[in-house]
């Protein structure tokens, strides 16, 4: 029998600190595509992998650490 014991502290203060932290997700520079993600609270600017160039209007994808996004209009 295996018993899982979670020794990590998970307090509200720690979650708020992590949620407010700036995060980096590495993307290969070759072929990286500039991206803007619009949320109700703010617009996020960054880069996505070259595979994003194959997206069509209204395709839904999942970004790491962000969630699901939809391409409204491919420019």
pLDDT per position as a tens digit, 36-48 = 888 888 888 888 8
Task: Establish if 50 belongs to a structural domain.
Answer: yes
Tens digits of residue pLDDT in 14-30: 555 666 666 667 788 88
How many domains does the chain divide into? 1
43-47, 56-60, 61-65: which range is least confident on average?
A: 61-65
Within-domain flag for 51: yes
Dist CA 52 CA 75 (whole Å): 12
> Has residue 60 been placed in a domain?
yes
What domain range includes position 58? 23-70
> What is the percentage of the chain residues whose pLDDT exceeds 90?
5
- Three-state DSSP string of 6-21: CCCCCCHHHHHHHHHC
Would you call 53 helix, strand, or coil by DSSP? helix
Residue 16 in any domain: the answer is no
User: Two tokens at 70?
Assistant: 């939809």
Residue 63: CB atoms within 10 A of its CB come to 15
8-state DSSP, 40: S
């Amino acid at each position: 029998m295996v018993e899982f014991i979670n020794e990590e502290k998970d307090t509200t203060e720690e979650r708020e600190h992590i949620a407010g932290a700036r995060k980096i997700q590495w993307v290969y520079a070759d072929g990286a595509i500039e991206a803007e993600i619009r949320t109700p609270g703010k617009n996020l600017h960054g880069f996505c992998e070259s595979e994003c160039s194959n997206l069509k209007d209204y395709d839904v994808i999942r970004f790491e650490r962000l969630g699901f996004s939809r391409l409204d209009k491919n420019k």
